[in-house]
A and B are shown apart, each in its own frame.
Chain A
């Protein structure tokens, strides 16, 4: 197992390195050819034709140097733990990441946890009561939560909250360490709403898996041995149904973390999604590179954790 994890970690590092190369070359070589570079964007609207200013800015940002040199400099800074500064406002990216990454991870984790806590029991109940009215209700919920965008539900809650009760969600963000109560007051609603969409998919998978598992021979054997229904369901049926759920969780988590941009905008949360979107609009190279690096690391890590967790859920799985 230890060797397996080590091997996966090395592959993970190579993957992350490849991501950095692709992002770097894409941003600094391909995009300027087909679209224009960050300086073109800066001057396009207000200072078009001011070639001296463009030259001055490119020199200031180091964009007049060979792209390979720019990359090795970036790697060297990265090795020292320095993600660089934003080209637009000069703020150190590491400071921003320290502030934003926990918010995004927290949003994603709470969202996912709420989805799992809703979907797993509901999926199990739907399977146990197959084709009876609770099953139909839960299946309608699953389809609805998958079909209706949760940001739209967020806007409805805000709009009707203010129309009917003159209520609006708190928007003055407080960090967890500074004021935990205030922090959870602002983050819980968006986090729970983020979990709404994945809960539908998880519910359907859980229901399908449970239906399949409940028809397996070993379940019949467990019942024949005289085990209680509770033990049969919790220890044998549900546990074996969870393997694909864990896979789905692994695939969903990075998306939740990276894709919470609409919720960050609606609820005024300083997460990574808005940071990435804004920096992409502005072609702020170092910020885009840094956020992609973080996302690549999260995805690699999530996949590794998922693969390792299989061994705990299914004793037949062994890694060498």
Chain B
């Protein structure tokens, strides 16, 4: 057998896997690229993701309170009443945006930057003190009505004006801007197949029509439950002015109607955003602007933070305790559980052992989830220092951050399927024997070695490989495909048409039912569970598809939640793929200089630091 983390060092399992983690930490300065991740690997003050109807458990609340009393966590207090307007927030970014075109750009980084300036129809409501719930409210939409299950009428605010600079020159935003944006999205966006029915029959929106200057009619091809969340999702339909078609180059500049105006951008050097005087929310933002130098090197970001040139959001988890000890006056906030859902998934060609659910379940039972969590989240160091650490196991298809939908694999709600998550090599061996497999099952184990999913990702892959081989039941031959030419086409979009097991990341969606539709429905664009998209190739897939269809078409939130929970129960034993406990199983800690007020209080949903909640931040210095 090839040497791995276990065999080559002859260390204890815990020590051995930690060796992998520390190696990864040593590379923390390298750039993170790809998978639509934002360029900043550190959590937002509110956390790197949250959940619809997120509620901290009572234990967690008590633990937080104790930590606050012990002076570790900073109490979250709304100080808006004492806010002083003015000041520039020194922030940072880790890479250039490829373009500022929110709808025609070919990278999600474009949309993240564009969101500083461009508005959306709806927005996720930031949490105030408590975690955000994932609920949405109108942003430039003042009011809306569901005329029938496939028709949504949007009434736009009348006080929204575009940027005062030419060519928009403070023109009021109107329904034609929305229609223009939709048409551009439909024809040019890299995400159009997720939303535009004309591009993909499985996508919901058929059309957007201006009924008058301030009313837009949205027609969907079928009832679509998460429509409002979809219209609040940064990666999809941002609203751009008609003048972006010829009046200015939207790739190089922005003319928005949101809280910020891009006033300077020097590639590889810095962004400067200044308060938009036309912003419709009275008295907001408090800050006059945000300066964001582009610092790709972690050591430099950390040094700038320690030297008070950046006010927060840069310290990696392995440096949090040491930095806080060294600079006790720093504020500490703990984020939320993650909504990313990384997976181990299976080749499902004819003859693959993974068409048998017992084999998939056996693989799941060879994974020691707590060990992975401890190793790759540095939890022991936090616990030794008395910091409040809580961990969860991600469920099938539903990351632990989606509280309302998530069934705890360690709890009772998942039923007998919970057994498939337990680390139980003996039971795994029994399952393999029952499936007719005797002796080691020899297979390829594939993941990318390049840092497209961050520098820790390949280390986790190596740890999985070592862990799965530890009992001798599996013999995994390492394959490290090229990301662009082999991994994406052959594995990620391969619809099960590969051999062995693959380890990979997935895209985060604003609501988990969209994730289920994309990754677990046999017709989903990114599905990995039904060979070639044929639901009959894998037992239980037809039933799974039906549940997902009902969930995504339901306009009743409670019903959707109930259907998603049913789906998890149905699929826990089937184990169509194996949810990885890394990343997102442990809320991350963030460090901030104490003069940035409200930074831990207003907490953005999903991946949107410094865009909605930041309008509430203010400087007391």
- The chain A residues found within 8 Å of chain B, CB to CB, are 35-36, 40-50, 52-53, 56-57, 88-91, 96, 99-100, 155, 158-159, 161-163, 166-169, 171-173, 264-271, 274-275, 278, 281-282
Contacts and interface: CB of A to CB of B under 8 A. Distances in A.
B326 A163 contact: yes
Contact of A42 (B33, B106, B191): B106
Contacts of B98: 88-89, 282
Nearest to A87: B106
Interface string B284-321: 00000000011111011011101111000000000000
Interface stretch (B264-272, B376-384, B417-425, B575-583): B264-272
Contact of B489 (A48, A50, A57, A270): A48
Nearest to A171: B293
Contacts of B299: 155, 158-159, 266
A226 B502 CA distance: 80
A162 B307 contact: yes
A8 B282 CA distance: 68
Contact of A171 (B34, B192, B309): B309
Given A163-B326, A171-B304, A270-B269, A89 B99 contact: yes
Interface string B86-122: 0000000000111100000010100000000000000
Nearest to B95: A278
B488 A44 contact: yes
A155 B297 CA distance: 9
A43 to B, nearest CB: 7
Contact of B267 (A50, A52, A168, A270): A270
B114 to A, nearest CB: 12
B251 interface: yes
Nearest to B249: A90
Nearest to B251: A90
B485 interface: yes
Given A43-B190, A266-B300, A49 B525 contact: yes
Contacts of A267: 300
A89 B106 CA distance: 9
Given A88-B99, A88-B106, A91-B252, A46 B267 contact: no
A295 to B, nearest CB: 18
Given A89-B97, A163-B306, A171-B300, 14 more contacts: A45-B36, A46-B36, A49-B525, A89-B99, A89-B252, A90-B252, A91-B267, A155-B297, A166-B306, A168-B303, A168-B304, A268-B268, A268-B300, A270-B269
Which are the 3 A-B pairs with shortest beta-carbon distances?
Answer: A162-B303, A168-B307, A168-B303
Contacts of B96: 278
B329 to A, nearest CB: 12
B214 interface: no
Interface of B: 29, 33-36, 96-99, 106, 108, 188, 190-193, 199, 249, 251-252, 266-270, 293-297, 299-300, 302-304, 306-309, 326, 484-485, 488-489, 493, 525
Nearest to A156: B299
Given A46-B190, A89-B98, A90-B252, A166 B36 contact: no
A158 B303 contact: yes
29 contacts: A35-B485, A36-B484, A40-B484, A41-B484, A43-B106, A44-B484, A44-B488, A45-B35, A45-B488, A46-B106, A48-B493, A53-B188, A88-B99, A89-B98, A99-B266, A162-B302, A162-B304, A166-B307, A168-B303, A168-B307, A169-B303, A171-B309, A172-B293, A173-B266, A173-B270, A265-B296, A265-B297, A281-B33, A282-B98
Given A50-B199, A96-B267, A166 B249 contact: no
A168 B190 contact: no
Contact of B295 (A53, A155, A268): A268
A171 to B, nearest CB: 5
A268 B268 CA distance: 7
A172 B270 contact: yes
A89 B93 CA distance: 18
A44 B190 CA distance: 10
Main secondary structure of the interface of A (DSSP, over half): helix
Contacts of A90: 99, 249, 251-252
Nearest to A90: B251
Contacts of A44: 484, 488-489
Contacts of B190: 42-43, 46-47, 50, 53
Contacts of B268: 100, 264, 268-271, 274-275
B406 to A, nearest CB: 26
Given A44-B484, A49-B525, A158-B300, A268 B108 contact: no
B267 A159 contact: no
A50 B268 CA distance: 31
Contact of B293 (A36, A100, A268, A275): A268
Contacts of A56: 188
Nearest to A38: B106
Contacts of B191: 46-47
A98 to B, nearest CB: 13
A43 B189 CA distance: 10
A96 B266 CA distance: 10
A186 to B, nearest CB: 10
B192 A50 contact: yes
A45 B108 CA distance: 10
Contacts of A167: 303, 307
A64 to B, nearest CB: 17
Contacts of A271: 268
B293 A155 contact: no
A52 B190 CA distance: 11
A155 B35 CA distance: 28
Given A163-B306, A266-B299, A47 B484 contact: no
Nearest to A281: B33
Nearest to A41: B484
A274 B191 CA distance: 28
Of residues A96, A267, A270, which shows the largest number of chain B Cβ atoms within 10 Å of its Cβ? A270
A283 to B, nearest CB: 10
Nearest to B488: A44
